[in-house]
Amino acid sequence: MLLPFVILIAVFYFLLIRPENKKKKAAAKMRSELAVGDEITTIGGVVGTICQVKEDTIIIETSADRVRMEFTKWAISTKGTQSTENAPADTKDSKDKR
């Protein structure tokens, strides 16, 4: 009677909790390794280059106009910019082949 309950908890741990903890650790590591000159994307979609790193915040330049903005480190989504140039384009040909 207790065995199915234990198995269910183990399944939830390995399918839901453990992968989420790995993602959190990877994000924390990425945020701790931010350095001046890195290109970043925030959770709001702002793209810029880091020009100053403080303990809990960073300052980025966002455009050729050298607009500077300050963000907390937890607001950083990814290091590097996400390019859409390599993304596969949806065409009629690919839909017709299905």
Residue matched to tokens 């690919």: 94
In a domain, 7, yes or no: yes
The residue-averaged pLDDT of 76-92 equals 66
In a domain, 31, yes or no: yes
Average of pLDDT values for 16-22? 93
Separation CA 69–CA 33 (nearest Å): 19
Does the predicted model carry a pTM greater than 0.85?
Answer: no
14-18, 19-23, 30-34, 86-90: the lowest-pLDDT one: 86-90
Total count of domains within the chain: 1
Please state, in angstroms and rounded to a whole number, the distance separating the CA atoms of residues 46 and 23: 21
Q: What single-letter DSSP state applies at residue 91?
A: -
Residue 1: the pLDDT is: 83
- Is residue 37 domain-resident? yes
Structural domain of 9: 2-82
Nearest-5° Cα angle at 65, 59 to 66: 25
22-78 residue pLDDT tens = 999 999 999 999 999 999 999 999 999 999 999 999 999 998 888 999 999 999 999
Specify if 98 maps to a domain. no
Greater model confidence, 83 or 86? 83
Residue the block writes with tokens 């390794």: 33
In a domain, 47, yes or no: yes
CATH of the domain at 56: 2.30.30
